[in-house]
């Protein structure tokens, strides 16, 4: 309650200062002046509220009553699930929309809803004035100002954009290496320098002696020798010639750190790079290191150091089955699937189903030929575009009502950690409790069946997914002080995400390109891809099948064909266009505050 009173006191003082700033200069000293103190919460508002968390909502709930009292409003929460596409289609067809809306089930994107006159825009000035916590984050990650902008404007938004550090700060994949095999071929590691995993799944605590994390110092030459030794030197010491270095997997999100990242690029087609030979901004398929990458894969396959997937089932099914055999020493893995002791994902599948005594070291283990160790975050930025990433306001919402909602969101999300936690996951001691030290341990949730009726239901109705705060601080603290090591924690502690995240020259999206250029790109790419894709596919197929006699010569021919088929046009009109902004991560890796 002290924090609430303090907040309102500060708010009142600000309005007094603003009012005092308007006093008349040179006013006679014998004149008494009455200064009217404006109350920003004086006008009463009814506010309708629709999100994906509303279905089990009970009217008059504790959080609703608190916020109504604080902000002089009546919150009317619609008991609908906005993920329900059929219900949302019917609702919008009738021209109905709440004052506040998160509706991922909408049949129309926010920009269409705006053009159809169902939602209003949010001026940047109002964000700055009434939800300054969000504005500050936008300043630290300036590309956020370009997300969900109303077409034709630079300072009007389709709503409030979600800020998701969880998807923007960490990698999806990692590299796992059989530690016993490394020792067998003369590349043992100092185990005192490794950090052991901490498994909370009952019965698997012993994995803390079998899974470790490190930032590997192996060079590209080391990696190639290790691939060779894992194939030829009987690293599992069973007396049979039945092992090999690693699988080659057609580039997907699990391969970035272990395969293409060694050459400075990632699998995602929206990442563009400045080519070291031509100087042009190009996708990976026209990027000179892509040629070196394919040559390395072919040579490793031809020597048997790598093996491809059979191609009879989905790559994921085959990857899980083959890694479980424990016959390859280097594996592409999910960054933390082992924490759940998942029996299908490597390296857990080996430990649970094949060799319970195996040991693995996980991390960015190897550098590429130019010393690069590159990986890709889930998303390039902490922001996204579209109906899944923006909360919108109905066309009927006045500036005054919008101001009130923004003030409420500022209070809920940005006042302090206690306030955010209260409205996001509930009341401490009722909905949850800390497992250890506050803010530096996990929250243990109370089962719904054990709660009083007035405390039941989804607690995220008024916060939703507007803010996913960084987990860096809490994960790093728990690892260093309590031994809760995982790869994400190890990477946070040692600032390895910022160190190894790929920094493309440009990234294909409306935020960086603007609506007009992005639409032009979509049209051009649709037109030119049927001409370029066969050339791209043919070169890769011939490269991996050993049908290229001289990679350097045939790469030049390939590039000439590709440019003539449309790549040159894309480069001239889109990729090199000065209106296409360069990629900028801002401070997304430097923001580490843990709020839940």
What values do phi and psi take at 501, rounded to 5?
A: -70, 135
- Confidence band of 6 (pLDDT split at 50, 70, 90): very low
373 is a domain residue: no
Position 1 pLDDT exceeds 50:
no
Give me 474's structure tokens: 């809490």
- Of the chain, the percentage scoring pLDDT greater than 70 comes to 93
In a shared domain, residues 137 and 193: no
Whose tokens are 């395969």? That residue is 259
CA pair distance 273, 376, nearest whole angstrom = 14
Position 504 pLDDT exceeds 90:
yes
pLDDT at 37: 65
In a shared domain, residues 186 and 283: yes
pLDDT at 214: 98
- Confidence band of 506 (pLDDT split at 50, 70, 90): very high
Q: 395-422: b or e for each residue (b if 16 or more CB lie within 10 Å)?
A: bebeeebbbbbbbbbbbbbbbeeebbbb
Give me 359's structure tokens: 């040991």
pLDDT at 440: 78
Residues 6+ apart with CB under 8 A from 520: 573, 574
In a shared domain, residues 141 and 177: no
Position 215 pLDDT exceeds 80:
yes
CA pair distance 165, 588, nearest whole angstrom = 7
Q: Domain containing 229: what range?
A: 173-363
Position 2 pLDDT exceeds 50:
no
- Of the chain, the percentage scoring pLDDT greater than 90 comes to 88
68 in the Ramachandran plot: left (φ > 0), alpha (ψ -120 to 50) or beta? alpha
Average pLDDT over residues 115-135: 98
What single DSSP character describes residue 199? -
From residue 109, alpha-carbon distances to 227, 252, 388 in Å are 49, 28, 9
148 in the Ramachandran plot: left (φ > 0), alpha (ψ -120 to 50) or beta? left
pLDDT at 110: 97
- pLDDT tens readout for residues 66-114: 999 999 999 999 999 999 999 999 999 999 999 999 999 999 999 999 9
591 is a domain residue: no
592 is a domain residue: no
CA pair distance 99, 142, nearest whole angstrom = 28
- Confidence band of 544 (pLDDT split at 50, 70, 90): very high
- Note the residue count of the chain: 596
> Taking the model in full, what pTM does it have?
0.89
From residue 126, alpha-carbon distances to 131, 206, 306, 345, 405 in Å are 7, 54, 57, 47, 11
In a shared domain, residues 67 and 21: no
- Confidence band of 342 (pLDDT split at 50, 70, 90): confident
Residue pair 199/339 in contact (Cβ under 8 Å)? The answer is: yes
pLDDT at 442: 80
- Report residue 368 CA to chain centroid gap: 25
- Report residue 187 CA to chain centroid gap: 34
Alpha helix (H) residue ranges in 72-161: 85-93, 110-115, 124-130, 132-140
494 is a domain residue: no
pLDDT at 498: 95
In a shared domain, residues 70 and 134: yes
pLDDT at 27: 38
pLDDT at 35: 57
CA pair distance 244, 251, nearest whole angstrom = 20
534 is a domain residue: yes
From residue 173, alpha-carbon distances to 258, 328, 424, 468, 508 in Å are 9, 18, 29, 21, 22
- Report residue 345 CA to chain centroid gap: 21
In a shared domain, residues 268 and 286: yes
pLDDT at 36: 59
- Summarize the chain as % helix, strand, coil (round to 5): 40, 15, 45
594 is a domain residue: no
In a shared domain, residues 318 and 179: yes
Residues 6+ apart with CB under 8 A from 234: 184, 240, 241, 243
Residue pair 407/394 in contact (Cβ under 8 Å)? The answer is: no
CA pair distance 175, 364, nearest whole angstrom = 6
- pLDDT tens readout for residues 30-46: 444 455 568 999 999 99
From residue 479, alpha-carbon distances to 29, 45, 339, 403, 595 in Å are 65, 47, 14, 41, 17
Residue pair 97/118 in contact (Cβ under 8 Å)? The answer is: yes
**Cα-only R_g, the chain:** 28
Burial category of 341 from C-beta neighbours within 10 Å (exposed 0-12, middle 13-18, buried 19 and up): middle
**Residue in 264, 285, 292 with CA at minimum distance from that of residue 504:** 264
Residues 6+ apart with CB under 8 A from 201: 339, 340, 341
Give me 409's structure tokens: 């969101």
Give me 283's structure tokens: 């996708």
CA pair distance 303, 506, nearest whole angstrom = 36
In a shared domain, residues 54 and 1: no
Average pLDDT over residues 343-355: 96
Handedness of CA 240, 244, 247, 248 (dihedral sign): negative
pLDDT at 10: 37
pLDDT at 420: 95
In a shared domain, residues 214 and 321: yes
Question: Which CATH number do you get for residue 120?
Answer: 3.40.190.10
Cα diameter, the chain: 106
What single DSSP character describes residue 54? -
CA pair distance 136, 415, nearest whole angstrom = 13
18 is a domain residue: yes
State the average pLDDT for the chain: 92
In a shared domain, residues 156 and 288: no
Whose tokens are 């956020």? That residue is 144
In a shared domain, residues 68 and 186: no
In a shared domain, residues 22 and 153: no
Residue pair 49/76 in contact (Cβ under 8 Å)? The answer is: yes
Query: How many structural domains compose the chain?
Result: 4
588 is a domain residue: no
DSSP letter for each residue of 471-523: -HHHHHHHHHHH--B-HHHHHHHTTHHHHHB---SEE-SHHHH-HHHHHHHHH
């Amino acid at each position: 309650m002290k924090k609430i009173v303090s907040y309102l006191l500060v708010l009142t003082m600000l309005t007094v200062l603003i009012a005092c700033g308007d006093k008349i200069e040179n006013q006679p000293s014998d004149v008494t002046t009455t200064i009217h103190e404006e109350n920003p919460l004086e006008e009463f508002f009814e506010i309708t509220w629709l999100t994906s968390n509303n279905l089990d909502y009970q009217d008059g709930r504790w959080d609703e009553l608190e916020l109504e009292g604080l902000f002089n409003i009546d919150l009317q929460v619609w008991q609908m699930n906005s993920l329900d596409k059929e219900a949302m289609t019917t609702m919008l067809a009738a021209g109905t929309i709440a004052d506040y809306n998160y509706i991922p089930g909408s049949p129309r994107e926010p920009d269409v809803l705006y053009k159809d006159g169902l939602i209003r825009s949010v001026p940047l000035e109002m964000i700055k004035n009434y939800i300054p916590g969000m504005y500050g984050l936008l300043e630290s990650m300036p590309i956020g100002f370009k997300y969900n902008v109303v077409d034709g404007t630079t300072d009007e938004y389709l709503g409030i954009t979600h800020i998701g550090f969880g998807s923007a700060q960490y990698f999806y994949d990692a590299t796992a290496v059989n530690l016993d095999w490394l020792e067998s071929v003369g590349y043992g590691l100092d185990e005192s320098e490794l950090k052991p995993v901490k498994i909370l799944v009952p019965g698997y605590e012993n994995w803390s002696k079998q899974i470790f994390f490190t930032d590997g110092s192996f060079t590209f030459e080391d990696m190639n020798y290790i691939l060779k030794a894992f194939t030829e030197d009987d690293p599992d010491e069973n007396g049979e010639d039945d092992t090999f270095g690693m699988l080659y997997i057609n580039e997907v999100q699990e391969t970035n750190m272990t395969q293409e990242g060694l050459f400075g690029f990632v699998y995602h087609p929206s990442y563009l790079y400045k080519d070291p030979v031509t100087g042009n901004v190009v996708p990976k398929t026209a990027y000179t290191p892509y040629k070196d990458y394919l040559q390395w894969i072919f040579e490793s396959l031809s020597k048997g150091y790598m093996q491809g997937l059979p191609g009879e089932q989905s790559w994921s099914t085959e990857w899980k089955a083959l890694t479980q055999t424990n016959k390859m020493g280097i594996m592409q893995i999910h960054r933390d699937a082992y924490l759940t002791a998942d029996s299908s994902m490597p390296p857990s599948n080996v430990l649970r189903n094949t060799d319970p005594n195996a040991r693995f070291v996980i991390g960015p283990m190897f550098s590429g030929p130019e010393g690069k160790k590159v990986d890709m975050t889930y998303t390039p930025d902490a922001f996204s575009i579209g109906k899944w990433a923006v909360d919108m306001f109905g066309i009927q919402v006045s500036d005054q009502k919008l101001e009130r909602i923004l003030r409420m969101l500022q209070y809920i999300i940005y006042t302090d950690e206690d306030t955010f936690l209260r409205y996001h996951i509930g009341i401490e001691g009722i909905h949850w409790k800390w497992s250890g030290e506050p803010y530096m341990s996990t929250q243990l949730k109370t089962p719904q069946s054990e709660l009083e009726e007035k405390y039941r239901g989804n607690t995220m109705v008024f916060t939703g997914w507007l803010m996913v705060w960084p987990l860096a601080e809490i994960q790093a603290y728990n690892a260093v002080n309590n031994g809760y090591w995982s790869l994400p924690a190890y990477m946070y502690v040692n600032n390895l995400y910022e160190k190894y995240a790929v920094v493309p020259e440009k990234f294909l999206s409306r935020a960086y390109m603007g609506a007009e250029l992005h639409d032009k790109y979509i049209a051009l790419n649709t037109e030119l891809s049927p001409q370029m894709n066969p050339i791209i596919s043919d070169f890769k197929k011939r490269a991996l099948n050993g049908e290229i006699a001289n990679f350097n010569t045939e790469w030049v021919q390939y590039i000439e064909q590709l440019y003539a088929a449309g790549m040159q046009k894309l480069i001239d009109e889109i990729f090199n266009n000065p209106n296409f902004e360069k990629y900028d991560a801002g401070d997304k890796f430097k923001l580490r505050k843990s709020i839940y």
